[in-house]
Structure 1
Amino acid sequence: METDVLIVGAGPCGLTLAHELLRRGLRPRLIDKNVRAAENTKALGVMSRTLELLTPSGLAKEMVGLGVKVPAFSIYSEGRQLARFDFARHVESAYPYVLMLPQPATEAVLTKHVEALGGQIERGTELVGLEQNEAGVEALLRHVDGGEERVQVRWLIGCDGAHSKVRHLVGATFVGKTFEQSFATGNVRMQWDVPNNQAFARLNRGNFIAYFPMPDGQHRFIIAYKPEEAPAGEITLEEIQRAIDACGPEGARATDPTWLARYQINQRKVDCYLWRHVVLVGDAAHIHSPIGAQGMNTGIQDAFNLGWKLALVAQGKAHERLLESYASERAEVGRQLLRNTGRLTDLALMHQPVATATRDAVAPHLTRLEKVQQIFTTNASELSIAYPRSPLAIEDGSEKAGSGQGAIKAGSRAPDGQICKGHENVPGRLYDLLNGDRHVLLLFGRRKEEVDGELRSALGGWRDWLDVYHILRGQPDGAGEEGVYYNPDDTLFERYGIEDEGAVLIRPDGYVAVRGRFGAEGSLRRYREWAGVE
């Protein structure tokens, strides 16, 4: 093999996957047909869950320093507020906001970290053909000077966007529909008295415009048109101002427009993410409405889901069927994404008078409900993504684990909480132990000396890919024993549904793989056997 992994496409998905493989010791080849990185793209919002996944490698901190934190999103219709979704209040994360950071800036941060690990982007290199064989994939590449190259790889990953050449070459069907609405978007400077950390949409009898702050003082706007009213030709400042005057805020003026584009929404998804030795990621696998700002985030999280699995398989530490869990887990996320963004788009862009009046009458009362706020913000921040039906989600079923009301289940995002060592008075966070590289086993309620021989034996062969920590109730005892932490407010026991004793295995991408009684040797072995981890 000339290389284990060839990644096609150096956007956010390809860069994230390359970074995850590089920090696990692989040397993927990353190509992109464009000679230079794109300067203007539609993606802007980075969600809480994406930032959590980017935290262990230091990328999140750098991105947060560059972006604008938006703590809430409001919706108005005919000048009246229909809803205000408060991320700062309802999102349980270190990042209780939407980070507004243009995609080129996100790509620049990712590129810097990829290059710091010894990776590089081969720009001006295009995939023009592929043929799968027993050993993997033979890919035909064409360079910017017209020269061609054949390369044999074990795995070829399509991160090449909505018009994916990889998807076309493997013959994947792209099933879905095109929305009737047309859209215009771009960047402007707004003359108004609105604080620079506010994002909101304004509706008026079928007209729609949304505003999102950007780090340089500009605002990204999105205008939606009824099919019969969509203008043709280039977007003008006069057109933008007409939309502002129709929807509001009253008296607002737009100036200095840059990067203006028209487009239509497609809602499409491939029927299969995994084609033998070819894997589809991000927009190559699913495209949808930009309402909700889920596209780039979902693609980056595709890459995180795939990264640790592909690394174990490529290094011979896991069976190839581990990649099947990527396909099944992320296909379900993609299906739900298309459904939810489609519903939101239909709700926001409805223009029939009776339906609009009903929406405007009901929405203010409904969206004030705590449960509705929780559901919307958790879904939008992507903290609600879970894999309960995954073969990698194993519930032990013991009466002593999982009986806590509202406790998470296997397949859910691992909750955070306070921990501290025996000699520390200031608590840290459980997430500080999750490095995104290795599995983590939390043993609740027992010290090291209380671990029985059977569990010690079961863990003996996992040392190369597993970190083990003991979590005890109460205040630190002053001893500072290695690998032993205290949960002073008992929140971790509650959130993981542990009454007295229990075991929780957390995957490298921060999702609960196994949850059960203390020890749980059988469940741990089942997980290891299915994944083929050695």
Structure 2
Amino acid sequence: MNGNTRNTRNVHNIETMGTTGNTGVAEVVRMRTLKAVPPGSVIVVGSGPTGLLLAGDLATAGVPVTLVEKRPHKISNLSRAFVLHARTLEQLDARGLADGLERKGQALDRIRLFGGLTVALDTLPSRFNQLLVIPQYEVEKALQRRAEDAGVRFVYETEVTGLSQDADGVILEVRGREGESGQLRAAYVVGTDGMRSAVRAAVGLSFPGKSVIRSVVLADVRLDEEPESVLTADAVGDAFAFIAPFGDGYYRVIGWHRGRDVPDSEPLELDEVKEIARLALGRDYGMRDARWMSRFHSDERQAPAYRVGRVFLAGDAAHVHTPAGGQGMNTGLQDAANLSWKLALVVNGHADTALLDTYQAERHPVGKSVLRSSGGIVRLAMAKRPWTLALRAGLTTFLNHVGPARRKAAGQITGIGYAYGAPRGSHRLTGTRVPDVALEIGRLYEALRGGRFVLITPEAYDDRQDRKDRLTVERWAGDRRTTVLVRPDGYVAWAAESADPAAIEAAVAAHVG
């Protein structure tokens, strides 16, 4: 299927590009005639957290990866995300990054959503029974180092202007910072290039939805008074405000006032931010020395498809929603964790391309659910009419007193409550998330490092097919008798209460290749 291809005067090819750093197309390409698509190569467009995790995973699995980014080689501290939830921390643990990030962030064991509604996290069935407050740029730094160490090739100051694809691969039309044009080619392309995704536009996908909140204000400021909590958030009347620390003496302030509906281009003064904070929080904590201020609007949108032929979407290119609950960056990182191992198996010749269809089947419903939950939170937080206030009060009472409902809400916000569909007749565990269980030697999420499947058995099992590059065999630490094959993203691929070596081999061959 062809996308919107831009005709260019100078044809470049990046097949042999190996330069890392602040580079544009003209400095890294070699003038060559386009040949057949190199087997097993992937281009990732967009170097936010989603793109960096995905590219690092692919390169770790031996897939040649080029990451294209239109910005200069600089990680911005102007990011809006400040939260890592339990499921994302588990995914980062499987990549050896969680402990380092925990040392840089601040942990919270509960979330206050609005009014008296509190979601406790200290009872989560996870090693990370908490929420980690940490700026997005710290996550990006850790993921970028990992991607660079794995051999990802970066091309900066280069934007996508068009795309075409056929049965053999994808060709991206790109433009560098000096206006020079070029072509990049690969077997697959993944667009992780945000809400205004050029990749999504190039394949002709719509992005239906609407703006939910206009004129949200952001400011990075110093405070004369330290807030009582690591995260400070509340909504009163027509105003909402949120404060979180950067860790360098500055705080990110996000605010909104129902009566102040102006375009994003309207100038923003610190006095407006302080006024919103006083209305919502009761005081402005002595905000001063703003180093950056801006307005933005919050949309709820989702692409109808996450895959078009050999092109995929992940993160904000696939779905955007309100920041309520801090689920945005987390959902994108989990998109990447789901897609990366599937792409690696296919391009390395260990799985049929039909495996790639499961990305849409598994992640699109999750994106839809996040849109609903985050939208519901923000609407209830900003409730004003008597019937919505009554609904909020009733829901608060219900969740605070009904354990199963409260646990379900916590599982949805933190990501650990999601499971994927399983074929009819599968074991009840198939498709479910596996916690960090103890193994005879070590623990599961250490065994998952390297992007491998993990086969956990009650008895020793000899993998005679030499799949050590993508399969680790472990035994339970206790006397459990279930045999479980865990996918690289920590979900059950197959399980059986009792299985002989032939049944195990058949399951491993079907999933691992």
- How would you bin the TM-score normalised by the shorter chain? 0.7 to 0.9
Equivalent position SS for 2:223: strand
Q: Please say if 1:463 is aligned against 2:467.
A: yes
Letter in 2 for 1:272: A
Q: Paired residue for 1:25? A: 62
Q: Paired residue for 1:395? A: 426
Q: Is the 8 A contact 1:436 1:509 kept in 2?
A: no
CA-atom RMSD in angstroms: 2.5
Aligned equivalents of 1:512, 1:524: Cα separation in 2: 16
Question: What is the aligned counterpart of 1:178 among 211, 214, 217?
Answer: 211
TM-aligned CA deviation for residue 504 of structure 1: 1.1
Number of residue pairs aligned between Structure 1 and Structure 2: 471
Decide which moves more: 98-107 or 304-313: 98-107
Question: What is the aligned counterpart of 1:73 among 97, 102, 111?
Answer: 111
TM-aligned CA deviation for residue 108 of structure 1: 1.6
Deviations 1:334-357, CA, capped at 9 Å, x for gaps: 111111111112111122144225
Question: What is the aligned counterpart of 2:323 among 273, 290, 313?
Answer: 290
CA distance 1:158–1:322, change in 2 (3 Å): same
Q: Please say if 1:253 is aligned against 2:234.
A: no
Aligned equivalents of 2:409, 2:244: Cα separation in 1: 18
Q: Paired residue for 1:230? A: 261
CA distance 1:507–1:222, change in 2 (3 Å): same
Letter in 2 for 1:116: D
Letter in 1 for 2:373: N
Question: What is the aligned counterpart of 1:383 among 406, 416, 436?
Answer: 416
Aligned equivalents of 2:404, 2:448: Cα separation in 1: 29
TM-aligned CA deviation for residue 101 of structure 1: 1.9
Aligned equivalents of 1:523, 1:348: Cα separation in 2: 50
Q: Paired residue for 1:43? A: 81
More strand by share: 1
Decide which moves more: 7-16 or 252-261: 252-261
CA distance 1:517–1:420, change in 2 (3 Å): closer
Q: Is the 8 A contact 1:17 1:303 kept in 2?
A: yes
Equivalent position SS for 1:437: coil
Q: Which stretches in structure 1 are left out of the alignment for 5+ residues? A: 397-401, 403-408, 422-427, 472-485, 494-500
Q: Paired residue for 2:396? A: 363
Letter in 2 for 1:438: R
TM-aligned CA deviation for residue 410 of structure 1: 1.2
Equivalent position SS for 1:332: helix
- The 5-angstrom pairing of residues 159-238 of structure 1 reads 159-192=192-225, 194-195=227-228, 198-226=230-258, 228-231=259-262, 233-238=266-271
Q: Is the 8 A contact 2:418 2:433 kept in 1?
A: yes
Q: Percent identity?
A: 30
Q: Is the 8 A contact 2:485 2:508 kept in 1?
A: no
Aligned equivalents of 1:131, 1:250: Cα separation in 2: 54
Equivalent position SS for 1:191: coil
Aligned equivalents of 2:187, 2:194: Cα separation in 1: 21
Deviations 1:265-314, CA, capped at 9 Å, x for gaps: 21111111111111111111111111111111111111111111111111
Decide which moves more: 97-106 or 179-188: 179-188
CA distance 1:362–1:345, change in 2 (3 Å): closer
TM-aligned CA deviation for residue 76 of structure 1: 5.5
Deviations 1:102-149, CA, capped at 9 Å, x for gaps: 222221221122122232321012211111122111222222222222
Letter in 2 for 1:508: P
TM-aligned CA deviation for residue 26 of structure 1: 1.6
TM-aligned CA deviation for residue 251 of structure 1: 7.1
CA distance 1:289–1:466, change in 2 (3 Å): same
Q: Is the 8 A contact 1:224 1:349 kept in 2?
A: no
Equivalent position SS for 2:43: strand
CA distance 1:221–1:376, change in 2 (3 Å): farther
Letter in 1 for 2:89: L
CA distance 1:274–1:313, change in 2 (3 Å): same
Q: Please say if 1:86 is aligned against 2:120.
A: yes
Deviations 1:482-506, CA, capped at 9 Å, x for gaps: xxxx32xx7xx4xxxxxxx321110
- The 5-angstrom pairing of residues 224-373 of structure 1 reads 224-226=256-258, 228-231=259-262, 233-250=266-283, 252-360=285-393, 363-364=396-397, 366-373=399-406
Equivalent position SS for 1:18: helix
TM-aligned CA deviation for residue 13 of structure 1: 1.1
Q: Is the 8 A contact 1:205 1:356 kept in 2?
A: no
Superposition TM-score, scaled by structure 1 size = 0.82
Q: Paired residue for 2:71? A: 34
Q: Is the 8 A contact 1:68 1:215 kept in 2?
A: no
TM-aligned CA deviation for residue 83 of structure 1: 2.3
Deviations 1:185-236, CA, capped at 9 Å, x for gaps: 22223333534x532321212321122233223332221222x433562222
Q: Paired residue for 1:144? A: 177
TM-aligned CA deviation for residue 361 of structure 1: 6.2
Q: Is the 8 A contact 1:73 1:200 kept in 2?
A: no
Letter in 2 for 1:518: S
Letter in 2 for 1:234: P
Q: Paired residue for 1:432? A: 446
TM-aligned CA deviation for residue 419 of structure 1: 3.9
Letter in 2 for 1:213: P
Letter in 2 for 1:510: G
Q: Is the 8 A contact 1:160 1:284 kept in 2?
A: yes
Deviations 1:39-83, CA, capped at 9 Å, x for gaps: 412112111211111123322222222222222222554xxxx12
Question: What is the aligned counterpart of 1:510 among 468, 487, 490?
Answer: 490
